[in-house]
A and B are shown apart, each in its own frame.
Chain A
Amino acid sequence: MTSLIELQNITRLYRSDEVETTALHNISLHIKRGEFVAIMGPSGCGKSTLLNILGTIDRPTSGAYLFTDASGAQQDLARMNEVNLARHRARHLGFIFQSFNLVDDLTIYENIELGLLYRGGVKGGRRPIIEAAMDKVGIGHRARHFPHQLSGGQQQRAAIARAIVGSPDLILADEPTGNLDTENGAQVMQILQTLNQGGATIIMVTHSQSHADQATRQVDILDGQLVASVAQVL
């Protein structure tokens, strides 16, 4: 497998008027294409900060974040400007959140369309791509509904469709089953596994050991530091 991400000594400090908090300390991590990585750790250990940095919606205080795209070109995202980061997110990343974060005022179809909107280059042919994404997660019949008209599981499946509609290099999932019951949680994990088996690289933050067990590698974080990175045999 080729390299996708290489974090080198990533540190993230939060400074307020009087307090300085170290959210991440010297994290180095290498992720290859096609991996399914589960990040685990207790609350407040820095899992979400790490995911935000991986998703480029937060910046490390120090360290390098090397990203290798499909053509083999490598860039340090820690030093990229906002405009290029926005472009990077649009082209290479897909996000899944614990609280779904669908836009209330848009229909399910339009929410999924957002995943293509900022990519450019797919004008005209969006509909079949969106419909294919909806079919993949089984919510094709809910296209015209608004998020509040759907169950939690359906909303999360819509969010997954939004994340995968642009065929990103990397899917970032922040506790995707955290707001779901067991059955819906299992369904979401099933979808993620299927995506991974189809070649997608996934990084998932989770509190659930059973869900982490379904990943190909588990990374443990404690007090902002990486304490273990173990490949798992499925």
Chain B
Amino acid sequence: MLKSTFTAFYRSFVRHPLYALLNLLGLSLGIAVFIALSLFYRFETSYESWSPKLPQIYTIGISFHFPGMTDDTGIGSMGGLLEELKTAYPQTDGTRYWPDSVIVHKGADVFNEQINLVDANFLIFFAVPVVYGDPANALSDPSHVVLSASLARKYFGVTNAVGRTMVLNDEEGLKTYTVSAIVADLPKNTEMKLDILRLLTPQRTALRSNWHHWGSVQLATYLKFKSRTEANALAVQFPAFTDRQAGQSFGPDVKPHKMLELKLIPLADAHLISPKLKAAVISLGVVGIVALALALINYVNLATARAGLRAREVAVRKTLGAAPLALRLQFIFEAMLTLLLAFLVALSFVELSLPLLNSAGGLSLKLDYHADALWIASVLAIVMVAGLVAALYPAFALSAFKPAQVLASSRTPGGGRTAGILRTGLAMVQFTAVAVAFILIMGFLLQIRHIQNADIGFQRSNLMIVNSIRDNAVTQSQRDAFVAGANALPGVSYVTIANAIPGDTSSVNNSNIVRPGQVDSATESPTVNYSIVGPEYFQLLGAKMLVGRVFDVQRGEDQMWDDKTTDKDRVYSVVISRRAARDMGFPTPQAALNQTARFNDHTVRIIGVVEDMRFYNPNEPIPAKLYLFDAHASESVVGMVRYQGLSAPAMREKLQHLWRQIAPAVPFDVTSAADNLDKYYKPERDRTHLFTIGAGIAALIGCIGLYGMAAFNTGRRVREIGVRKVLGASAGRVVGLLLRQFLYPVAIASLIAWPLGWLALERWLSQFDDAIAMPLWVFPVASGVALAIALVTVAGVAFGAASTEPGKALRHE
């Protein structure tokens, strides 16, 4: 019996290649999309799973509730939080991770690397895979460093570099360290970069004045609990703990926990803490499921359609004594074989397309048959179970044929009215999905194009950001020399220093601003995001001045900002943004001009209002901005260079040459503003690419299904077509008749897609601060494209059938 089933399966492939190809291609494509997006979903939802302790580890997140600011939860905490927690709750088991930049000296060469200052228990806490060295003691000595295997190879040429020394230059100065352990390279889906680890010492924390400043965020704090209950027990004490520890940090009458909400977040959830990112990952997972569902619908449609063609075989088998159960098992077994084959083909599709997918989606997915065997098996199991459910209907439909009727009739049975309705219904579901996909693809691409080309308040092209300037090793005279030198370069129009940097939030500060007569209250006063900028900053950016003027180093009243001054009577000139003027309650920008306010214990006078500039994520509102002036600012500032008439690489090279002359001991690090900003745009663009690929393939599957259906139904109607032609119908009328049969459900489906597409697109657009208006034209266009594809798909089959000679058609059966 098994052999007979194999034979039937094999023959159906060999002898009906078109059907077999359509069926296999549709299924394989659907399964391939499902596998690829499952890989993506697994990658995104299994961050930090390299740590065997993951289920027990939580990280601290903070949600700030300041007026005018979004209260999204961010991962990170004040540097000294762990110490305060340990004092209050001595049983606390925690560790910290503080990324910083470091200069590595190797002979005469210098390299920029990321160093992570961690507590001594870090390796044990996370059970970091240690390749060489003793994890318990590797970080006990401040003169030790722990390297990753790849970094050890980079600097020492071997993995086992334990005992070797390396020279590092960071905030603590130039020192020699001994390598005490080597850790394995972590997989890509981690937020941690364990390239260089060093002990976080009290000497280092002493360099930070804000180590215990409630409201600051410096590093990541991790806590470990034996159970969720234990974690929850601590979390409920956070508000009281915050109020105790923060005291009057947010004002005399303000409960600190109302402003700063500490949260305990399972480490496994930390990567997708942003609801928008989580929603994006889930929607791509849904696309995978939809693609699989569409492929299975295809399978059901084609299998039931072909069931009609196999009716005679079924009737013969029944006549020869096959019981319905035996036939059902045969068809289910055939379905399982088809699915298995499709799964194998799908795996090879995924293998072949992963490089393309990774580059289109900015991903690093891979299929490792050895390590992922269990995962692949479970995906196969899901596909097979879903396939089994899908195969039940055709199996029952086939085995239900009455042999006497089938053998007596010369017409191929179609499976009856129910099967016909089912097939039409399923085709409608498919085409609804296809039309929704088209609506969303067009909507997504329009929005992506919009945010890429939108006026963001400044000119992002031809603008270099020299990050090296902010290195701790750079002196004031070197900074000044670089600004002067860059200004003298041909093609350079402006040079300045500032810590308001497009696409860089590393030096973002927020504070209250209070107008005279207003109450100074953390819960009510507007919050501004403030930055320090040098001369010609606004000219350099090409910012639009709404009223007033920009800073002028020649004017005495534009005093250099000095946060530490004790002279409380000094009045500083500030420039604010349109949003800041609005938040401060000025009816127009004009009204804000020359007004004073209290800011950070100083009096400031507004000398100008500039248009809002979008420096950060396009999904988030542009913050209210306050600009302070300091021509020689040193803290966290970068150099900014505006140029014309030469290419980015040429400009880069000139700046690098200059830098090498001024500060050879500090590696040159420059980015363009456009590249810096692109990190906000790229994820959205990448996800749109992924979605477009997935939805495009889903649409292709729908077309394959429709083609199969058209071919089958037309095949069944050959005799009818013959009769109609004998009675005088023209080929055109026959084509019209056949097309109507298919286009009717497709037309209805594309209309059903409108409200669904509207809801999905509206929801997606609502996550952007600067969203396009609902593009109404995409709805009819999506329907039109779906109909056109259906038309082209079916027309070929219909023309073929309509042009058959009637005599041949009538002899057909």
Contact = CB atoms under 8 A, between A and B. Distances in A.
A89 B320 contact: yes
B328 to A, nearest CB: 12
Given A87-B323, A89-B319, A91-B321, A101 B407 contact: yes
A214 B404 CA distance: 27
A104 B12 CA distance: 10
Interface in A84-104: 86-91, 93, 95, 97, 101-104
Contact of A58 (B312, B316, B323, B404): B404
Contact of B313 (A52, A93, A105, A162): A105
Interface string A31-75: 000000000000000001000100101100000000000000000
B129 to A, nearest CB: 56
B414 to A, nearest CB: 18
Contact of A86 (B316, B318, B407): B318
A117 B326 CA distance: 11
Contacts of B322: 86, 90, 117-118
Contacts of B420: none
B403 interface: yes
A139 interface: no
B9 to A, nearest CB: 10
Contact of B407 (A82, A90, A97): A97
A83 interface: yes
Contacts of A104: 15, 313
B408 interface: yes
Interface in A140-165: 162
Contacts of A93: 321
Interface string A106-139: 1000100111011100000000000000000000
A110 B12 contact: no
B334 to A, nearest CB: 12
Nearest to A102: B316
B320 A57 contact: no
Nearest to A119: B321
A103 B404 contact: no
A51 B79 CA distance: 93
Contacts of A97: 407
What is the size category of the interface that chain A forms with chain B? 20 to 34
A83 B321 CA distance: 9
B317 interface: yes
B744 to A, nearest CB: 26
A116 B324 CA distance: 17
Given A48-B408, A52-B404, A118-B326, A90 B320 contact: yes
Contacts of B318: 57, 86, 89
Contact of B323 (A83, A105, A106, A115): A83
A27 to B, nearest CB: 17
The winner among B1, B12, B404, B408 for most chain A CB atoms within 10 A is B404
Contact of A57 (B1, B312, B325, B403): B403
**Interface of chain B: mostly helix, strand, loop or mixed:** helix
B7 interface: yes
A146 to B, nearest CB: 8
B321 A118 contact: yes
Contacts of B408: 48
Given A58-B404, A105-B313, A110-B4, A117 B320 contact: yes
Given A110-B4, A113-B4, A117-B4, A57 B321 contact: no
A114 B317 contact: yes
Contacts of B11: 105-106
Nearest to A101: B316
Contacts of B317: 103, 114, 118
B315 interface: yes
B385 interface: no
A43 to B, nearest CB: 13
B88 interface: no
Contacts of B315: 101
Contacts of A83: 323-325
A31 B403 CA distance: 24
B8 interface: yes
Interface in A155-203: 162
A105 B8 contact: yes
A197 to B, nearest CB: 25
Interface string B211-232: 0000000000000000000000
Nearest to B313: A103
Contacts of B320: 89-90, 95, 114-115, 117-118, 162
B12 A105 contact: yes
Nearest to B324: A82
Interface in B468-492: none
Interface in B297-316: 312-313, 315-316
Contacts of A82: 323-324
A87 B321 contact: yes
A110 B404 contact: no
Contacts of B12: 105
A105 B312 CA distance: 11
Contacts of B4: 110, 113-114, 117
Nearest to A84: B323
The winner among A55, A86, A115, A119 for most chain B CB atoms within 10 A is A86
A110 B321 contact: no
B7 A110 contact: yes
Nearest to B16: A105
A93 B320 CA distance: 8
Contacts of B316: 101-103, 114
Interface string B390-424: 00000000000011100110000000000000000
A70 B312 CA distance: 31
B15 A90 contact: no
B813 to A, nearest CB: 10
B403 A106 contact: no
A59 to B, nearest CB: 9
B15 A105 contact: yes
A118 B319 CA distance: 10
Given A55-B319, A82-B324, A117 B1 contact: yes
B404 A101 contact: no
Contacts of A86: 318, 321-324
Contacts of B403: 57
B82 to A, nearest CB: 72
B7 A106 contact: yes
Contacts of A119: 321
The winner among B7, B320, B402 for most chain A CB atoms within 10 A is B320
Nearest to B410: A99
A182 to B, nearest CB: 22
Contacts of B321: 86-91, 93, 118-119
Nearest to A105: B11
Interface string B258-274: 00000000000000000
A106 B15 CA distance: 10
Interface of B: 1, 4, 7-8, 11-12, 15-16, 312-313, 315-326, 402-404, 407-408
The 10 A-B pairs with the shortest beta carbon distances in the complex, nearest first, are A90-B321, A105-B11, A118-B321, A89-B321, A86-B323, A58-B404, A52-B404, A57-B404, A57-B403, A103-B313
15 contacts: A57-B407, A89-B320, A90-B320, A101-B316, A101-B319, A101-B407, A103-B312, A103-B316, A105-B15, A105-B313, A106-B8, A110-B4, A117-B322, A118-B320, A119-B321
Given A89-B320, A114-B317, 4 more contacts: A88-B321, A93-B321, A104-B15, A114-B320
